[in-house]
Amino acid sequence: MEALKTWQARQDDAFVVSYPKAGTTWTQEIVSAIVNEGDLEQINKSHTEFRVPYLEATFLSSTKEIHVPPTHEIVDKMKSPRTIKSHLPGHLLPPDVMKKKARIVYVARNPKDLAVSCFYFRKVNPFRSQDGEIVYGSWWNHYLYYWNLRHEPNVLFLKFEDMKKDLKGTVERIADFLGYTFSDDVIDRIVNHCTFGNMKANPMANPDTLVAKVIEAKLRHMKNGAEEVADSNDNVAPKDRPSFMRKGEVGDWKNHFTVAQNEAMDELIREKLAGSGLVFEC
Ligand code: PPS
């Protein structure tokens, strides 16, 4: 985080920024497909996580002998135009990103589905959340920071629900925002590549294999005493871990929330987003 304070962005960078579980991987795949001009052969040569690296996440090495540099140093060596993922809240995003007016595609999702998706991902990835503190802070602070930047020419604010309703329109909007004009054929190819079913079936877009490797490395690291295991949820057996590409739907919260939970969440949403103009269909 210290290094990111002075990290240099480039004007033609395309960032995908989001609160976790809001539709990051989906947006990553769309942005990557656009920047590769719909060349699926090229896109499918490497995994999304390598095409659109996760700026602030430095992955653990599988052995002591292999040194894995911090991701931002890997990103420094990438050719332009770079595509980069970040979950950083606005005040922690490297200041040079806005200074250089690098493009930011931000995606937000209705908080109820976000909570359900987080709940399942907690079984996939043993990230920590203790005493009400959660990685990347509260969703409303994250959303509102970028929502308030939505009129900046280098920021495009998207909602998961709109992407579900009109994937083709979304691909066209992002392409236009990033300065690409495509024929209908190319647009249709990108749309088809980025449907839930096709991404789930594509090992270069579905994070499952990579996630499993990252979790195993993390658990090994914890067992070696480098970090304490936060709680028993951290030990969900691989066979019981849900797929990262779980459902990809709008309104799955209805299958999970009690009436009381729904009312509490509605009140929280009303309170936190009051006066902002940001509303969700949920
Ligand atoms: S992460 O860990 O923050 O990167 O997760 P993120 O990618 O933001 O969110 C994961 C959820 O997005 C769903 N997803 C999709 N939905 C619709 N269409 C496509 N193509 C797609 N790709 C990913 C994924 O299934 C997770 O949502 P849930 O509700 O858990 O299924």
pLDDT by residue (tens digit) across 156-201? 999 999 999 999 999 999 999 999 999 999 999 999 999 999 999 9
Q: Give pLDDT tens digits for 4-32.
A: 999 999 999 999 999 999 999 999 999 99
Q: Can you give the pLDDT at residue 162?
A: 98
**Which residue numbers are catalytic?**
87
Q: Can you give the pLDDT at residue 155?
A: 98
Q: Which atom of ligand 1 is nearest to the CA of 23?
A: 8
- Determine the residue of 51, 88, 191, 245 to mutate for testing ligand 1's pocket, defined as the one with the most ligand atoms within 8 A of the Cβ atom: 245
- pLDDT-based confidence at 231, cuts 50/70/90? very low
> Mean per-residue pLDDT for 53-62?
84
- pLDDT-based confidence at 223, cuts 50/70/90? low
- pLDDT-based confidence at 96, cuts 50/70/90? very high
Q: Can you give the pLDDT at residue 128?
A: 59
Q: Which atom of ligand 1 is nearest to the CA of 120?
A: 30
Instruction: Give, using CA atoms, the residue closest to atom 10 of ligand 1.
Output: 21
Query: How far away, in angstroms, is 24 Cα from ligand 1 center?
Result: 7
Residue 213 has pLDDT above 70, yes or no: yes
Write the CA distances from 203 to 60, 251, 265, integer angstroms: 21, 26, 35
Return the closest-CA partner of residue 215 out of 242, 186, 197.
Answer: 242
Residues 6+ apart with CB under 8 A from 246: 117, 120
d(CA 18, CA 5): 19
Residue 91 has pLDDT above 60, yes or no: yes
- The set of protein residues with a Cβ atom below 6 angstroms from ligand 1 is 18, 20-26, 113, 117, 120-121, 194-196, 199, 245-248, 252
Q: Can you give the pLDDT at residue 134?
A: 81
Residue with tokens 């656009």: 34
Domains of the chain, start order: 3-273 (3.40.50.300)
Residues 6+ apart with CB under 8 A from 75: 53, 55, 82, 84
Write the CA distances from 185 to 11, 39, 88, 176, integer angstroms: 29, 12, 35, 16
For 20, phi then psi, to 5°, come to -50, 140
Residue 83 has pLDDT above 70, yes or no: yes
- Determine the residue of 117, 125, 204 to mutate for testing ligand 1's pocket, defined as the one with the most ligand atoms within 8 A of the Cβ atom: 117
Instruction: Give, using CA atoms, the residue closest to atom 12 of ligand 1.
Output: 23
Q: Please, which residues bridge with residue 16 across strands?
A: 85, 105
Instruction: Give, using CA atoms, the residue closest to atom 23 of ligand 1.
Output: 26
Chain Cα centroid distance, residue 192: 20
d(CA 254, CA 257): 6
Q: Can you give the pLDDT at residue 58?
A: 81
> Mean per-residue pLDDT for 206-229?
71
Q: Please, which residues bridge with residue 18 across strands?
A: 107
Instruction: Give, using CA atoms, the residue closest to atom 22 of ligand 1.
Output: 26
* Neighbour tally for 176: CB within 10 Å: 13
